[in-house]
Amino acid sequence: MKSAYKAIAAIAVVVVLCVGAGYLVGYWDKGDLDGQVIIIHTNDSHGYYDENLGFTSVASIAKDYESRGAVVFVVDAGDAFQGTASTMMTHGRSTVSVMNAVGYDLMVPGNHEFDYTLETYLDYTEELSFPTICANLDWADSGESVFDEYMIIERGGVKVGFFGLITPDTVDTVYYGYMDDVTITDPMEAATEMVGLLDGQDVDYVIAVGHLGVDQSASVTSMDVCSAVHGIDVFIDGHSHTEMEHGKVVDGSIEVQSGDALIASTGSYINCVGVVTLGDEPDAVLIRECVSSDKAVDAAVGKIRSEEEGIFGEVIGSTLVDLDGERSSNRTGETNMGDLTADSLRNLTGADVALVNGGCFRASIPVGSIDVGQIYAAIPFENFVGVKEVDSSTLLEVIENGLSGLPGESGRFPQISGMKVVYDSSADPGSRVVSVTIDGSPLNPNGSYTLASIGYVLDGGDGYTMLADMPYVTMFGTMIDCLTGYIRDTGVVTDIPAGRLTDLSGSS
């Protein structure tokens, strides 16, 4: 139900700027924001506490809007507890103090909130000063919701109803067994139920906060939900790392179809802070610059950095080449970081071949010295190394799965060692491999091979289900320890010859 607050039209943002102690973050002609209803939002921060704009900007921007009379809500659309060396070292706990200092009103869980187990995240929710909400995550045995499905906040005379959604693809991206106790239900069915419920509560606005994304490789997108479910005013989104303003994708790579709802998303890593202005015609903009800060957030981050300093600063080697650990690169083609990491697994295990999924990688390492912190940032996942024995047909199936997401970005893309693969990405998924060569010899159709990988892959993650039920030949320590030890032994990383993966279509 719409109240008089919806008669307040969104005021156009002329300049988006932060300046000094005045916290000037959005320029309006008179600067008076009485009656404006604002949602400050973030998503996919992935443990980037003080890099880019940082959480200190989120807090200072929110306070600026409040100081000028606006009614302000602050929400996060997930993936805040995993992604950097800080989160890896603490299993995400370091995020609690930072987000508490910002003063969020609520968040939804992203798929990576469960990278350290569902139980671990549930423990953290007890320490957070704000709730986690989600309408489509249920306990498998009882069917009851794991979190509160929605939250109604009445502030400054405005009654806003929020409900949360998580991507059904979470079960394919979280480590095997970490979410056995829960079921993810259909986001569209959950959204339909929530809109009806919130309308019955006579709220002024219905806001979906979801971790679905607009990438059409996902099983369900925020666009799907907004097109099918009427009554959502704004969908604050995450997961696909997409920057959106005014309901459109900033780089134009995706044409947004969202019915009557406005979709807003900030990209990732707090490169931007999102601002949604509610009214008859809601609007969303991104703040890209901010020089002001928040003392409470700075203190929380400073304490974390002080504790980390002695651990992450240890130099373990150096590199003469830039090592490409970018998310997009490793999900679409061979990279030297992928080659190096796969080599480290094969070196440690003595396996015939090694494979690492491209979704492991999150940051590059530039030319120069390499310290422990850079390794944690590059591969911020707690994965052990293992070996399984596979026959040639299974190995082909493994490689086909890795290539099946092309031409789009896919975490299953294979970074390999000990073999060369020629493929055609223009062919149908499952029929893309043209040839496989191992140690200079063609794949033996009657042979068997030892395959080294990480537990996430070997236990069936990212679609590698053909490996899940096979016994382990042997198991080792973590992938981080494996790569760190390999670089220590190597001393200096030089140029790593490419050519392990060749696409005949030339698309990657």
Same domain, 461 and 492: yes
- Considering the domain boundaries, does residue 362 fall inside one? yes
- Considering the domain boundaries, does residue 296 fall inside one? yes
- Considering the domain boundaries, does residue 188 fall inside one? yes
Residue 352 has pLDDT above 70, yes or no: yes
Domain containing 121 — which CATH number?
Answer: 3.60.21.10
What are the phi and psi torsion angles at 359 (to 5°)? -70, -10
Confidence of residue 161 (pLDDT cuts 50, 70, 90): very high
Same domain, 300 and 328: no
Same domain, 63 and 168: yes
Same domain, 263 and 364: no
Mean pLDDT of 314-334: 95
Same domain, 159 and 235: yes
Same domain, 123 and 240: yes
Q: Would you state the structure tokens that stand for residue 165, as one six-digit string?
A: 């959604």
Q: What's the whole-number average pLDDT of the chain?
A: 91
Of 76, 87, 15, residue with least CA distance to 42? 76
Same domain, 216 and 158: yes
At 358-412, the pLDDT tens digits run 999 999 999 999 999 899 889 988 788 999 999 999 999 999 999 999 999 999 9
Give the C-alpha separation, 396 to 235, whole Å.
Answer: 41
% the chain with pLDDT above 90: 79
- Considering the domain boundaries, does residue 415 fall inside one? yes
Indicate yes or no: pTM above 0.85: no
408 alpha-carbon distance from chain centroid: 16
Q: Which of 37-46, 165-174, 200-209 has the lowest mean pLDDT?
A: 165-174
Strands 419-423 and 501-503, bridge-based pairing: parallel
- CA distances (Å), 262 to each of 233, 281, 287, in order? 6, 9, 17
Residue 239, exposed/middle/buried by CB under 10 A (0-12, 13-18, 19+)?
Answer: buried
Strands 15-16 and 26-27, bridge-based pairing: antiparallel
Residue 176 has pLDDT above 80, yes or no: no
- Which one of 305, 334, 353 terminates a domain? 305
Asked if residue 407 has a cis previous peptide bond (ω within 30° of 0), the answer is yes
Give the C-alpha separation, 89 to 66, whole Å.
Answer: 35
Confidence of residue 310 (pLDDT cuts 50, 70, 90): confident
The 3-class secondary structure across 270-284, one letter per residue, is CCCEEEEEECCCCEE
Residue 483 lies in domain = 313-503
Same domain, 280 and 367: no
Q: Give the number of other Cβ atoms within 10 Å of residue 130's Cβ.
A: 18
Same domain, 95 and 63: yes
At 414-460, the pLDDT tens digits run 999 999 999 999 999 999 999 999 988 999 999 999 999 999 999 99
Residue 8 has pLDDT above 80, yes or no: no
Beta-carbon contacts of residue 502 (< 8 Å; ≥ 6 apart): 420, 421, 422, 423
Confidence at residue 171, expressed as pLDDT on a 0 to 100 scale: 83
- Which one of 260, 289, 305 terminates a domain? 305
Residue 2 has pLDDT above 50, yes or no: no
**DSSP labels, 393-453:** HHHHHHHHHHHTTTTS--TTPEEEESEEEEE-TTSPTTS-EEEEEETTEE--TT-EEEEEE
Confidence at residue 202, expressed as pLDDT on a 0 to 100 scale: 92
Helix (H) or strand (E) holding 421: strand 419-423
Mean pLDDT of 316-327: 96
Confidence of residue 285 (pLDDT cuts 50, 70, 90): very high
- Considering the domain boundaries, does residue 508 fall inside one? no
- Considering the domain boundaries, does residue 219 fall inside one? yes
Residue 13 has pLDDT above 80, yes or no: no
At 260-283, the pLDDT tens digits run 899 999 999 999 999 999 999 999
Give the C-alpha separation, 432 to 443, whole Å.
Answer: 15
Cβ atoms 497, 416 nearer than 8 A:
no
Same domain, 288 and 354: no
- Which one of 247, 281, 305 terminates a domain? 305
- Considering the domain boundaries, does residue 192 fall inside one? yes
Same domain, 420 and 487: yes
Q: Can you tell me whether residue 295 is helix, strand or coil? A: helix
Same domain, 251 and 124: yes
Domain containing 402 — which CATH number?
Answer: 3.90.780.10
Torsional class of 120: left (φ above 0), alpha (ψ -120 to 50), beta (otherwise): alpha
% the chain with pLDDT above 70: 94
Strands 492-493 and 315-319, bridge-based pairing: parallel
Residue 142 has pLDDT above 50, yes or no: yes
Supply the DSSP symbol for 129: S
Give the position of tokens 């040639």. Answer: 392
Number of domains in the chain: 2
